[in-house]
Amino acid sequence: MLTKAPTGIAGFDDVTQGGLPAGRPSLVCGGAGCGKTLFAVTFLVNGATQFSEPGVFMSFEERAEDLAANVASLGYDLDGLVAQGKLTIDHVRVERSEIEEAGEYDLEGLFVRLAYAVDSIKAKRVVLDTVETLFSGLSDAAILRSELRRLFGWLKERGLTAIITGERGEGQLTRQGLEEYVSDCVVLLDNRVEDQITTRRLRVVKYRGSAHGSNEYPFLIDDAGISVLPVTSADLDYAVSSAVVSTGIEGLDAMFGPGGFYQGSSILISGVSGTGKTTIGSSFIDAACRRGERCLSFVFEESGAQICRNVRSVGLDLARHVESGLLRFEAARPSLFGLEMHLARMQRDIDAFKPGLVLIDPVSALRGPVNELQATLLRMVDMLKSRGITALFTSLRTDGTFDQVGDLGLSSLMDAWVKLLDVDANGERTRTLYVIKARGMSHSNQVREFLMSSAGIRLVDAYVGPAGVLTGTARVVQEAQEEADALRRRQDSERRRREVVRRRQSIERQIADLRASLDMAEEEESLLLSHEETRDSLLSGGRDAIAARRSAAE
C-alpha cells in the first residue's frame, strides 16, 4: 500500500485519502496568484509543527525575508521555525545571463546545496519554488528533459516528500509540459474570475498508485490558512432522528402533529419582503439557544448586531446568546464570493463551530447561473443533513411563490415548507402563514394569522366564512358581530325561558285555585251528606217513637 505524507491542509488530505505520496515528488501547478507558494509553505509548516518532519524550502524567486513576511498573514512564523531547526529556507538566485547552454550543464551544484540543507536539519520534506525559474535559461529540450528526470530521481533516491511548483503553460499544465509526466502526483490550482467574482479551485489531476477525488474543489486562503472543501453531494445514507425541536412559537408548534419539527430536518420559510421571515427565524434560534444548542446564522442582508437590535422589538434577546457563545453570526454580501466559495466558507465555519441549528437568511440572495445555483443548494442541504444539523432557509419571493426559475429545486429538497403571505383588505395589511408540506408528520391545513408584538409572536385563528378568510380588523369586526349575535340569542333564549316560567307559574296558580275550589266543593258536599244523614237519623228515630206509642195505646 502506498505510504502517504499528510499535508495537514483541511480537506485536501480527505480528497487525496491521506495526503501526498511519501518519499516521492509532487507537482503543484497553476497560474499566477492561485496560491502555489502558500500551499507549499503550508505543507512544510504543518509537517514541522504537526508531524515532526523538518523541511527545506528552496526558492528561486523570493528572498527568505520576503517569503516570511508574505506568509505571516496566515499565522506562520517561519523565522521561529528556522531558529528551532525545524525549517531551512534557501534562496537560490538564478540569472539567465549567467547560464550558458553547454553539453556539460547540469544541476550538480543544486544537488550539493540541497543535500547540505537537508542533512543540516534531517529534513523529510522539500519544496522547490518554482521550477520554471530554475530552467529559464535552457531552450534545449533534451537537456531540459534530462535534468528534470535527474532532479525528480534524486529526490526519490533520498526518500524526500517533495513539492515542486510550476507555472501554468499554454495548452498544458506547465510551461515545459514535462513535469506532469515525471511527477507521481499532480495538483492543479486555478484562480477563476466569473462575473467579477474570484473563486479558487483545486483538482488532483493524477495520483499514481492511489485513488483520489477527481472533481474540482473550492479552497480558501485567509487568516485561518488554506482549507480545501470537498463539497460534492453526499450519499443519501445519512442518519435521521425522531427527536422534535420547537420553533419557539407555541401556535406554530401546534400546527404540527409532533409539536414541532424533526431534528436534522430542512425547513423553508418563504414570503415577500416584510412578512416576518427573519423574525420567525430568530424565534427558531432563540428556542434552540434556550435548549443549550449552538446556532450559526449566515446572513446576507443585515449584520448580526442589526438583527439583534431589531428582534428586541418582539421580545427576543439574541445578544445574550451571542455573548454566551451559543450564537454566532456570519454576515457577508452575496457578491463578496462566488457560490462555491460561500458554500466552502459555510462548511468550514460549520465544522469549526459545530452548531445544532443553522439559519441561512435569505438563501434567495445567492446569485449565479441556474445550474450552479442548483448544484450549490443541493450540496448545501446534503452537507447539513449529513451532519444531523437542523437547517432553516428563508427565501424572498417578489410574489410570495416559487416559479420555475426561482424555485431551483429548493422546495423539493425541503422537509417542511412554511409560506408567509400578506393579506390586504379593508385598508390594512395583515400577516398570515400556512404549511405547504411537512414530511413524515401530520400538519394543519389552516391559514393562520400571526401577530408580532413586544410579547413575541402569537398565532390567531383566521375567520373562515361564506365571504372567505377574514383577518385583521375584518376578523375583529366579524368576531364582535358574532359576539353581539350570540348575546342577542342568549337574551332571546332568556326572555323565552322567563316567559315559560311565567306561564308555568300562572297555570300552576290556576291549578291551585281549581284544586281549592274542588276541595271546598268536596267539603261542602261532605257537610251536606252529613246533614242529610243526621236528618235521616232523626226522622228514623221519630218514626220509631211514634210506632212505640201507637203500640202502647193499643
Summarize pLDDT for 499-547 with one digit per residue, the tens: 999 998 889 888 988 888 888 888 888 888 888 888 878 887 777 777 7
Rounded distance, CA 143 to CA 163, Å?
22
Summarize pLDDT for 285-329 with one digit per residue, the tens: 999 999 999 999 999 988 999 999 999 999 999 999 999 999 999
Listed residues 197, 228, 259: the one ending a domain: 228
Selection from 77, 72, 68, 9 nearest residue 42 by Cα:
9
Listed residues 203, 228, 253: the one ending a domain: 228
Tell me what pLDDT residue 100 has: 44
Contact 282, 489 (CB under 8 A): no
Do 449 and 485 share a domain, yes or no? no
Q: Is residue 530 part of a domain?
A: no
Q: List, in order, residues 6 or more apart from 288 with CB less than 8 Å away.
A: 245, 248, 295, 356, 357, 390
Q: Is residue 239 part of a domain?
A: no
Mean pLDDT of 465-478: 63
Do 426 and 475 share a domain, yes or no? no
134-143, 367-376, 418-427, 483-492: which range is least confident on average? 134-143
Q: Does the predicted model carry a pTM greater than 0.75?
A: no
Do 220 and 347 share a domain, yes or no? no
Q: Is the dihedral of CA 285, 287, 290, 294 positive or negative?
A: negative
Q: For the residues of 102-149, what is the DSSP string, one character each? A: -TT--SHHHHHHHHHHHHHHT-SEEEEE-HHHHTTT---HHHHHHHHH
| pLDDT above 80 for 211 | yes
Tell me what pLDDT residue 541 has: 77
Domain holding 367, by residue range, is 244-454
Summarize pLDDT for 399-417 with one digit per residue, the tens: 544 444 445 567 788 899 9
Q: Is residue 43 part of a domain?
A: yes
Contact 23, 231 (CB under 8 A): no
Listed residues 165, 197, 228: the one ending a domain: 228
% of the chain at pLDDT higher than 90: 29
Rounded distance, CA 471 to CA 454, Å?
20
Rounded distance, CA 229 to CA 238, Å?
19
Do 97 and 212 share a domain, yes or no? yes
4-8, 191-195, 243-247, 448-452: which range is least confident on average? 191-195
Do 61 and 105 share a domain, yes or no? yes
146-155, 377-386, 450-459, 538-547: which range is least confident on average? 538-547
Rounded distance, CA 123 to CA 5, Å?
13
> Residue 224 corresponds to which cell in the numbers above?
485561518
Do 442 and 489 share a domain, yes or no? no
Q: Is residue 161 part of a domain?
A: yes
Confidence of residue 475 (pLDDT cuts 50, 70, 90): low
Counting the structural domains of the chain, the total is 3
The residue behind cell 376578523 is: 475
Rounded distance, CA 201 to CA 218, Å?
4
Do 288 and 422 share a domain, yes or no? yes
Q: Is residue 234 part of a domain?
A: no
Tell me what pLDDT residue 288 has: 94
